[in-house]
Structure 1
């Protein structure tokens, strides 16, 4: 009885350490996780600055407001969100077999990975919020441009906490979506990806057909406008939670293969 109790206590003591070890494992490739996204984002910003210079140097003061109005719908910064999904997918593929090879349980692995994703989401959301604040303070980088204060992120007048929440919601969604897709690959390989892709295509096509045949696109637009950036960020937490739970249950049955 004493031996069993000691074994359970030993296992319980190792679990937090293993979770933290998995967290650190997800941050090992610092170049891809912490450096490359900002290099590319800086390049995208530089391209946008060049575009703003060209646009505003060729429009009069009367048309400047219209040009800025159109820039509120800029999607230039969405690259970094897509990149987070790719990072999450790569993390599962590369670290899942490695971690299990060192006797890490699937539960500890996924908890450590989820905490690592949460940390990344907070870090990148804070950085994007800072960039949005600089953009707002500098009147669009001195040119009236809009990249980090677009409508999707709350618009140019959104409070700091609103921007942070919207950014965090988007990052977490992309991270857990990427990890779920990778978990499907780890569990069912090509067949799983084919079924997943077909299911997504059918759902998207079905929704498009439904809204088109019922003439509901106006209602869809009204729904987005009514909810706003904060409302949409709140709604996004639902598929994020579904993706996180799905990834856990899929990986709990996955077998690493070479």
Structure 2
């Protein structure tokens, strides 16, 4: 037996397989989100053409839609599905919780990067065609494409928002498995109370004007930084929770 053969195999050698575990069923993180992406865009474009054919919006203003959110919420659901279905499967295959968590987050990173690239490409198409010829925009929204980086900035912040939401969806199901429904709701209500307290402090100190001013001064790059930090925190919380979570 050689020295190499006698060395214990690192658990991280299974990381590529842990990533691939999330893509064993292509419809969950690939096919269904792609279908939702193009279906939502097509429906929004159809509504835009219909409005344009009827004379457009008063004053000739461009029409902006929120249909791009459909893919985000679809991916959040699929991320939650991954926590409820692939976690027990991974434990049955003897994946370590650390490798499973890291592999899942990296799989989410891949999906989020593809989503960001798709948003950037769709926004570029809408800009180049003046809103598909009818001044209707689903992805080239002003607060996304008018900032630093243009459509690339829009793609970046969309990718990081997608990643943060997917990890949040995954984390909520893991928290439910670890603590149960009642404690999960107590935690959610506690978070609501904290946010209400912050809003109360802002109101008491008459600081809403400064708050809105601060929000409007943010750019896609600064929001990207906040979303990246949120993703890291959520990943840490998820791993800390999953270490003591049973797959049953």
CA distance 1:60–1:82, shift in 2 (3 Å): closer
SS in structure 2 of the partner of residue 76 of structure 1: coil
In the alignment, the residues of structure 1 paired with residue 199 and residue 182 of structure 2 have an alpha-carbon distance, to the nearest angstrom, of: 26
Q: What is aligned with 2:20?
A: 24
Q: What is aligned with 2:37?
A: 41
| CA RMSD, 1 decimal | 2.6
In the alignment, the residues of structure 1 paired with residue 92 and residue 98 of structure 2 have an alpha-carbon distance, to the nearest angstrom, of: 14
Q: Which runs of 5+ in 1 are unaligned?
A: none
Q: What is aligned with 2:70?
A: 79
Contact persistence 2:148–2:219 (CA under 8 A): no
Q: What is aligned with 1:168?
A: 159
Q: 118-127 or 208-217, which moves further after superposition?
A: 208-217
Contact persistence 1:151–1:229 (CA under 8 A): no
Q: What is aligned with 1:63?
A: 59
Contact persistence 2:148–2:220 (CA under 8 A): no
- What does 1:228-243 align with in structure 2 at a 5 Å threshold? 228-243=219-234
Contact persistence 1:150–1:156 (CA under 8 A): no
Q: What is aligned with 2:9?
A: 11
In the alignment, the residues of structure 1 paired with residue 180 and residue 3 of structure 2 have an alpha-carbon distance, to the nearest angstrom, of: 39
Say yes or no: does 1:182 pair with 2:180.
no
Residue 24 of structure 1, CA deviation: 0.8
Q: What is aligned with 1:222?
A: 213
In the alignment, the residues of structure 2 paired with residue 180 and residue 3 of structure 1 have an alpha-carbon distance, to the nearest angstrom, of: 43
Q: What is aligned with 1:108?
A: 99
CA distance 1:59–1:158, shift in 2 (3 Å): farther
Q: Which runs of 5+ in 2 are unaligned?
A: none
Report the count of equivalent residues: 248
CA distance 1:95–1:62, shift in 2 (3 Å): closer
What TM-score, normalized by structure 2, do the two folds share?
0.89
Identify the match of residue 203 of structure 2 among 187, 198, 212.
212
In the alignment, the residues of structure 1 paired with residue 147 and residue 185 of structure 2 have an alpha-carbon distance, to the nearest angstrom, of: 41
In the alignment, the residues of structure 1 paired with residue 4 and residue 128 of structure 2 have an alpha-carbon distance, to the nearest angstrom, of: 60
Q: 89-98 or 149-158, which moves further after superposition?
A: 149-158
Higher helix share: 1
In the alignment, the residues of structure 1 paired with residue 187 and residue 4 of structure 2 have an alpha-carbon distance, to the nearest angstrom, of: 44
Contact persistence 2:45–2:136 (CA under 8 A): yes
In the alignment, the residues of structure 1 paired with residue 147 and residue 183 of structure 2 have an alpha-carbon distance, to the nearest angstrom, of: 42
What TM-score, normalized by structure 1, do the two folds share?
0.86
